[in-house]
């Protein structure tokens, strides 16, 4: 077994500019640039470790107080998956060839989900006038996700003042058994109330109805979440491939909620950035060889809340801890900082934005390399596979040859 650690940190939604296909496939994202527009709002922002790693190189220009680094090892990547999505983005990073998801409003399934829940003894109401969402056991809302591309994701939303996460998750599993969209997100918080959830009801385009998560206050305190995916084959992905070869795999944060890692170690239901980095640093210390992937979710939550100031504060925390991670990198290790899509808080809507993502690479004794614009984020997964000398995932081309020392 190769001796070395391959660590990927995903700064969720930290995109570096809208993709060329946006005018055709997502015109609402035209002009999006999460990285750049946060600096516009906070021009004094300094992220010294990300700057050294080449975040401005990935952006393509000096901007604000930050400069391009001529010694950076970096690249960027297009999104191969449809739209801009956390679940599909992470599957893509792990080597999946993303299929275009089924797009259906929750109204397409509402009767079938209603019947399934009734048959299992739940109290279920249809709430609304022309468009309706489901209200279960007087505290759980089921409807369309209002923050991502309409029709791809359904939300199961609650207040933990009324129900436990485990009880809510059972309701979510019933929904997952019925629907065929890409993802069902089961979540809640302790600050949210029945009234705040109901007050956050929104409708879009005359056919989507659900709860606006930021407005419902679920993110404010005691937030817990589980992502229930559809149609992904774990056998073709890096965690399973490495696990089959006896190579340790550690997933930390949201990535552990949405990527299959049956043979590895998973730190799930984590949101707080400092907590996630604290676990990361401890696990790096213990890991002699293996693959680690970490997701930082609070960047994405700040984008959904359209809060540039909060986004910048989370980035500063990330930058501080990325410096601590770099201190632990040995000669054989590779560290990659990347993202999974964009979420420009200034674009005028609270959904993800379809943006290229940075690929910032740290390896001792390596500098001044541009790996170019990659066609898919799966190139990261393919590089992990070549590094550990295991079979390649179903998608992606390795760039390991470009970053050999």
Q: Identify which of 383, 382, 273, 295 has the alpha carbon closest to the alpha carbon of residue 341.
A: 295
Is there a contact between 136 and 142 (Cβ–Cβ < 8 Å)? yes
Residue 101 has pLDDT above 80, yes or no: no
Strand order in the sheet with 249-252: 265-267, 249-252, 290-296, 5-11, 334-338, 357-362, 73-77, 369-374
Instruction: Give the pLDDT score at 227.
Output: 84
Give the C-alpha separation, 64 to 44, whole Å.
7
Q: What is the reported pLDDT for 245?
A: 97
Which tops the pLDDT comparison, 262 or 230?
Answer: 262
Task: From 263, 269, 267, select the one nearest 290 (Cα to Cα).
Answer: 263
Q: How many CB atoms lie within 10 A of CB 121?
A: 7
Residue 241 has pLDDT above 80, yes or no: yes
pLDDT band of 3, cuts 50, 70, 90 = confident
Mean pLDDT of 146-169: 94
Residues 118, 188, single domain; the answer is yes
Quick one: 250 and 176 in the same domain? no
Tokens representing residue 151 in the block: 């029709």
Stated as kind and residue range, the H or E segment containing 238 is helix 238-244
Asked which of 198, 229, 260 is the last residue of a domain, the reply is: 229
DSSP state of 100: P
pLDDT at 169: 95
Is residue 180's pLDDT more than 70? yes
Cβ(134)–Cβ(117) below 8 Å: yes
| Coil/strand/helix, residue 90 | helix
% of the chain at pLDDT higher than 70: 100
CATH code for the domain in which residue 350 is found: 3.40.720.10
Share of the chain above pLDDT 90, in %: 90
What phi, psi does 248 have (nearest 5°)?
-60, 140
Instruction: Verify that 205 and 275 share a domain, yes or no.
Output: no
Give the residue ranges of DSSP H helices in 60-189. 86-93, 110-119, 165-178
pLDDT digits (tens, 9 = 90+) for 43-80: 999 999 999 999 999 999 999 999 999 999 999 999 99
CA distance 26 to 122: 39
Least confident of 145-149, 154-158, 196-200, 401-405: 145-149
Choice between 229 and 290, residue whose per-residue pLDDT is larger? 290
Cβ–Cβ < 8 Å for 116, 137 = no
Q: What does the pLDDT average to over 191-212?
A: 96
**pLDDT in the model for residue 1:** 62
Question: Which pLDDT band holds residue 226 (cuts at 50, 70, 90)?
Answer: confident
DSSP designation for 269: S
Please give the model's pTM, rounded to 2 decimal places.
0.81
Domain C-terminal end among 229, 253, 284: 229
| pLDDT band at residue 82 using 50, 70 and 90 as cut-offs | confident
- Is residue 321 domain-shared with residue 271, that is, in the same domain? yes
| Confidence tier at 100 by pLDDT (50, 70, 90) | confident
**If DSSP codes are grouped into helix, strand and coil, which group holds residue 205?**
coil
Pairing of strands 249-252, 290-296: parallel
Same-domain pairing of 177 and 237: no
Strand partners, 360: 74, 337
Q: 208, 229, 250: which is the final residue of a domain?
A: 229
Same domain flag for 248 and 318? yes
Q: Are residues 250 and 266 in the same domain?
A: yes
Q: What residue numbers bound the domain in which 110 lies? A: 106-229
How many folded domains does the chain comprise? 2
Whether 158 and 276 share a structural domain: no
Calculate mean pLDDT across residues 76-90. 93
Q: How much is the average pLDDT of 275-279?
A: 98
Same domain, 381 and 286: yes
Residue range 132-157, pLDDT digits in tens: 999 999 999 999 999 887 898 999 99
Specify whether 278 is located in the same domain as 219: no
- 247 and 351 together in one domain: yes
- 223 and 336 housed in the same domain: no
Residue 251: partners with Cβ closer than 8 Å, 6 or more residues away:
239, 259, 261, 264, 265, 266, 267, 292, 293, 294
Residue 378 to residue 395: CA distance in whole angstroms: 6
pLDDT digits (tens, 9 = 90+) for 5-46: 999 999 999 999 999 999 999 999 999 999 999 999 999 999
């Amino acid at each position: 077994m190769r001796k070395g650690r391959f660590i990927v940190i995903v700064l969720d939604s930290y995109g570096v500019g809208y993709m060329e296909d946006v005018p055709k496939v997502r015109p609402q994202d035209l002009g999006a640039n999460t990285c750049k527009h946060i600096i516009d709002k906070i021009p004094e922002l300094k992220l010294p470790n990300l700057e050294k790693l080449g975040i401005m190189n990935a952006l393509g220009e000096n901007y604000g107080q930050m400069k391009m680094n001529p010694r950076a090892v970096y690249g960027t990547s297009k999104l191969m998956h449809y739209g801009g999505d956390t679940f599909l983005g992470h599957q893509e990073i792990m080597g999946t060839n993303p299929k275009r998801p089924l797009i259906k409003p929750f109204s397409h399934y509402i009767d079938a989900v209603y019947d399934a829940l009734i048959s299992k003894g739940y109290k279920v109401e249809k709430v609304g006038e022309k468009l309706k969402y489901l209200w279960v056991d007087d505290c759980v809302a089921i409807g369309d996700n209002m923050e991502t591309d309409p029709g791809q994701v359904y939300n199961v939303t609650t207040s933990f003042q009324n129900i436990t996460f485990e009880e809510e998750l059972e309701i979510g599993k019933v929904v997952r058994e019925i629907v065929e969209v890409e993802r069902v997100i089961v979540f809640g918080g302790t600050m949210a109330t029945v009234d705040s959830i109901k007050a956050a009801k929104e409708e879009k385009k005359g056919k989507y109805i659900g709860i606006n998560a930021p407005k419902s206050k679920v993110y404010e305190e005691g937030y817990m979440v589980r992502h229930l995916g559809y149609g992904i084959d774990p056998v073709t992905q890096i965690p399973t491939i490495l696990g089959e070869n006896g190579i340790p795999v550690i997933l930390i944060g949201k990535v552990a909620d949405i990527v299959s890692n049956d043979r590895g170690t998973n730190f799930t239901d984590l949101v707080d950035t400092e907590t996630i980095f604290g676990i990361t640093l401890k696990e790096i210390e213990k890991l002699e060889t293996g693959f680690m992937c970490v997701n930082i979710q609070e960047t994405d939550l700040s984008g959904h809340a359209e809060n540039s100031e909060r986004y910048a504060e989370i980035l500063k925390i990330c930058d501080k801890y990325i410096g601590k991670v770099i201190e632990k990198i040995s000669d054989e290790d590779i560290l990659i900082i990347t993202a999974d899509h964009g979420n420009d808080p200034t674009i005028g809507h609270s959904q993800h934005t379809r943006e290229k993502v940075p690929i910032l690479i740290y390896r001792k004794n390596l500098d001044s390399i541009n790996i170019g614009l990659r066609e898919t984020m799966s190139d990261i997964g393919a590089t992990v596979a070549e590094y550990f000398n295991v079979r390649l995932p179903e998608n992606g081309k390795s760039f390991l040859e470009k970053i050999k020392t």
